[in-house]
Structure 1
Amino acid sequence: MTPAARLAAAIDLLAALEVEPRRPADAIANDFFRARRYIGGGDRRAISERAWGVVRQRLRLDWWLARIGARPTPRFLVAAHLLLVEGLELPAVLAAFPGGQYAAPPLNAPEEKLLRTLAAASPGGLLHPEMPEGVRLDLPDWALPGFTARFGPRLAEEAAAMEGEAPLDLRANLLKTTRAEAVAVLAAEGIETAPTEFSPWGLRLPARRPVTQSRAFQEGLVEVQDEGSQLIALLTDARPGMRVVDYCAGAAGKTLALAATMGNRGRITACDVSAPRLEGAARRLRRAGVDNAERHLLQQGDRWAKRRAGQFDRVLVDAPCSGTGTWRRNPDARLRTGSADIAELRVKQGEILSTAAELVRPGGRLVYATCSLLPEEDEAQVDAFLQRRPDFALLPLEAAWGEARARYPELGPPPGDGDLLLTSPARHGMDGFFAAVLQRRS
């Protein structure tokens, strides 16, 4: 594809995102490219990078467009991105819309006038001293108080880190290999990796590669999983012979890791409210060689949890949340989430915690985790739960990490301060995850 055709396709992809603003952008993009199989891999990456670049800067671009009285149409957003973010001079931006077959139509007279106004108003580029703090930091208004409470004087550093590209992390599947063997197998396929800093199973790629096409992935030697997510599984401390529940399993990423720590011995149940996600989990479990796991679809009126009250050694609740810790991977979530969503999620999180707690046997553990950096979804939920359930107590992070170190002596100090796991892009180079280990009294 020509550069002009790629730009036109990026505009079309942004238009598709606007049609379904509440749907995850990656799902829309998958459908977009599936319907255009003639677009090759290199073109697909270039189109995606430009579209996601606009999405990542949408708060700032919208501020500028409102300032000059322009509507945020997909084509004008792309033109503004070329000017303000990519640094093209005005003639080059105009030339990027040449018209003709497969190219975007030329900017019309009103659009060109607005673009000239924008160029004149922004000699310093994208940022402007009159931008509100949230816009300047690329944080929506509904999330700014929570991020400020979380990071304080480190807010700007963390906000900047969340604008970057997320790394690609893998987890060596200990049911089939060791981390060192996985490194060697991947290297033989030309995929270089390095051990992650905290996870004893993790591998990080210096640059993105099509790992899912590799023999190591196809044979279940490795799984794609962020290092922070691996640490949730590590702290769950699922051991051989235990009965374990992954209560919000989704596509079973953490179920796979828990099965590996259990050595395929004992029983793990992956629960979720989505049948398609559990179907996807079945394929992943087979590839990984997991045979101590079963799946259960949670439905309205389901009495599964009541019938199994007090029967499990470990219950992991990876709760549905705002996903603010994964904004590097899902920049569109900044735009399709709002304060009403947070209020709804907080109610749901509390309900799930209360239900899942009943599954824990006396002396067992409940692990509450999110991929959110907002205190109202993290510490506030744990505090409220402990007020409701005095038969549970917080197991400090240092104690839980010490138990993990007994199994994996290579572990260094835990990420996070205090009694709770909290990872972040700037401090730890991984997605933002929160976890609390809650012990039920015997």
Structure 2
Amino acid sequence: MTPGARITAAIEVLEIIRAGDTLAPADSVLGDYLRQRRYIGSKDRTAIAAMIYGTYRNRARINWWLDHARSKPRPRTLMIAYLLLVERMDAKQLRALFDGYHYNQQPLEKPESVLADRLAGQSLDHPDMPEAVRGECPGWAEAGLRAALGERFLEEMAALNKEAATDLRVNTLVGTREEAIAALAEDGIFAKPSLYSPIGLRLSGRPALGGTKALKSGLVEVQDEGSQLLALLVGAVPGMQVVDFCAGAGGKTLALAAQMQNKGRIVAADVNARRLERLALRQRRAAAHNIERRPLATERDPWVKRHKDKFDRVLVDAPCTGTGTWRRNPDAKWGRGGIDLAELTALQSEILDSAARLVRPGGRLVYATCSLLAAENEDRVAAFLAGHAEFRLVPLSEAWPGLLPDAPMPEAADAGGYLRLSPARHGTDGFVAAILERQPATETA
């Protein structure tokens, strides 16, 4: 493809996203677009994706410039601004790519031409920009993130706006970390041990993993190091009865199966049956044989009541705003109309309250989100504990030595007893997790 044709493709994808009833995930729309156009080569796909995600990673600052130029943020004007402000094209180069030739975009209309002349040569950042704009923070999340991050607000927002590294979890049902490093090296991929996770690897660059022996054999799974630590906090051991209550496609479920060495029982539960179906193929590849998939009608499914007090460990990785994953999903922060946080936190409390019924006396529940907002984490746990005197919060500093005795506890991760991970400080996605222990039943004479 020519550079102009790549720009046309990127604008078409942005138009498809904009035309939807809801803001569909960019990766989903882009994936569908490319599957329908298999003639587009790998380099072209990479370039198209870079432009699309580039507009989202710089959306607040691009919109600031468009607003000052009195131009509406439509897909075409967003791309024009991106090319001028981020890619640093000059106006002449831009007009040459918008000439209507073959697959190139049509020539600039007069308002677009005025916009191009105004933005050409400008820096993306401007001293008059509000701090939240410079930090690419959406208005709906600003107050909550400022409260959670304090003086680290801009530093963490900058880290959340950078592309995430590729992390792998070594599947110990198939092999060791050393074997995984060697297998990846055979395919020309350099991997080094993760800083905190004893089963993690971090790759250099963003290599193609799909055809590698390590991935196809089930020796490794793509999983952020923070997500690995969350699964390890569950403390699942061979022979236990465990529930992954919001299992999704099962990444943490597979990590739990490896911890349990295929001994005991894991129930992967979720209200999205289609996502659970994806776990079937993954668990076969991972040689995980102790997983039972359990679709739920709602978080209050009758199955939960029937299995009250039956499980040693319950993991609740609750649906959330995903503020901690913006490195991977920069489009998520710009959802149409923002996010109804009150509705979401109410659902989180319902899920936590229902899942807690599964925990036996003496057992533990790990509640977590990939969000940094206290409303979705500390506030939810505090409300839960206020209504469930039989549970206590196990401080991270108390739990870590028994769960991960040979791994260093991340610096400043033990905030108020919770695990709190962030991209600037720890190089992981943003996670907050709480370990909640149900007190053993008191015996009476």
TM-score bucket of the superposed structures, by smaller chain: over 0.9
1:360, 1:338 → 2: CA distance? Answer: 38
CA contact (8 A) 2:140 2:339 kept: no
1:386, 1:338 → 2: CA distance? Answer: 32
1:25, 1:340 → 2: CA distance? Answer: 17
In structure 2, the partner of 1:336 is: 335
In structure 1, the partner of 2:193 is: 195
1:192, 1:125 → 2: CA distance? Answer: 36
CA contact (8 A) 1:142 1:338 kept: no
Report the secondary structure of 2:210's partner residue: helix
Report the secondary structure of 1:165's partner residue: coil
In structure 2, the partner of 1:13 is: 13
In structure 2, the partner of 1:252 is: 250
In structure 1, the partner of 2:183 is: 185
> 1:109 Cα deviation (Å)?
2.1
2:201, 2:339 → 1: CA distance? Answer: 37
CA contact (8 A) 1:228 1:433 kept: yes
Deviations along 1:73-131, whole A, 9 cap, x unmatched? 21211111111112122222222212211111111222102222334xxx651122222
> 1:62 Cα deviation (Å)?
1.4
In structure 2, the partner of 1:101 is: 102
In structure 2, the partner of 1:243 is: 241
1:397, 1:110 → 2: CA distance? Answer: 57
Query: Counterparts in 2 of 1:236-385, with a 5 A limit?
Result: 236-300=234-298, 302-336=301-335, 340-385=339-384
1:169, 1:207 → 2: CA distance? Answer: 11
Query: Counterparts in 2 of 1:206-225, with a 5 A limit?
Result: 206-225=204-223
% identity of equivalent residues: 53
1:42, 1:115 → 2: CA distance? Answer: 27
CA contact (8 A) 2:410 2:426 kept: no
Report the secondary structure of 1:211's partner residue: coil
Deviations along 1:227-268, whole A, 9 cap, x unmatched? 000000010000100000000000000000000000100000
Query: Counterparts in 2 of 1:26-45, with a 5 A limit?
Result: 26-45=27-46
RMSD, matched Cα: 1.3
Report the secondary structure of 1:317's partner residue: strand
In structure 2, the partner of 1:23 is: 24
Report the secondary structure of 1:143's partner residue: helix
Report the secondary structure of 1:199's partner residue: coil
CA contact (8 A) 2:232 2:403 kept: yes
> 1:289 Cα deviation (Å)?
0.4
Amino acid at match of 1:65: L
1:127, 1:351 → 2: CA distance? Answer: 42
CA contact (8 A) 1:425 1:432 kept: yes
Query: How does the TM-score come out when normalised to structure 2?
Result: 0.96
Deviations along 1:323-380, whole A, 9 cap, x unmatched? 0000010000110165552111100000000000000000000000100011111111
**Closer/same/farther in 2, CA of residues 355 and 24 from structure 1, 3 Å limit:** same
1:413, 1:298 → 2: CA distance? Answer: 35
1:235, 1:340 → 2: CA distance? Answer: 29
CA contact (8 A) 2:191 2:204 kept: yes
Unaligned runs of 5+ in 1: none
Amino acid at match of 2:46: R
In structure 2, the partner of 1:414 is: 410
Query: How does the TM-score come out when normalised to structure 1?
Result: 0.96
Report the secondary structure of 1:177's partner residue: coil
Report the secondary structure of 1:95's partner residue: helix
CA contact (8 A) 1:371 1:434 kept: yes
1:2, 1:324 → 2: CA distance? Answer: 36
Aligned residues: 436
2:269, 2:202 → 1: CA distance? Answer: 29
